[in-house]
Amino acid sequence: GQNIDQPTEMTATEGAIVQINCTYQTSGFNGLFWYQQHAGEAPTFLSYNVLDGLEEKGRFSSFLSRSKGYSYLLLKELQMKDSASYLCAVRGASNYQLIWGAGTKLIIKP
């Protein structure tokens, strides 16, 4: 079967760094997305990785290892507004098909 695993919840301190992991087992692989979702709001796109390595975008970076079926989202210089759920989604064998993880709720404390 197809499966995506993320931690349910993480807590971090304002100004610190946090790494949110995502492991996946899918039929085929055509890229991995990270989305941010604030409570009661729509998911918004953060990053897309299809090749191995680190993609940096401001305070957020995303890493992919296809051989390990593993990705992480790295958030630096955490701000209170980063409190949200972070969803990992993998595009499987068919380009349209997105398999979603349950999301990681990130709580930022002062």
Within positions 59 to 98, which residues make up the interface with other proteins, using CB under 8 A? Answer: 87, 89, 91, 95-98
- Quick one: three-class SS letters along the chain? CCEEECCCEEEEECCCCEEEEEEEECCCCCCEEEEEECCCCCCEEEEEECCCEEEEECCEEEEEECCCCEEEEEECCCCHHHCEEEEEEEECCCCCCEEECCCEEEEEEC
Question: Which residues from 21-40 bind other proteins, rule CB under 8 A?
Answer: 30-31, 33
Cβ proximity to other proteins, 40 vs 110, nearer residue: 40
Q: Does 48 bind other proteins (CB under 8 A)?
A: yes
Q: Which is nearer to other proteins, 4 or 12 (CB)?
A: 4
Report the residue number, 17 or 93, with the smaller CB distance to other proteins: 93
100 lies in the site for other proteins, by CB under 8 A:
yes
Site residues for other proteins per CB under 8 A: 4, 8, 30-31, 33, 41-45, 48, 50, 87, 89, 91, 95-98, 100-103, 105
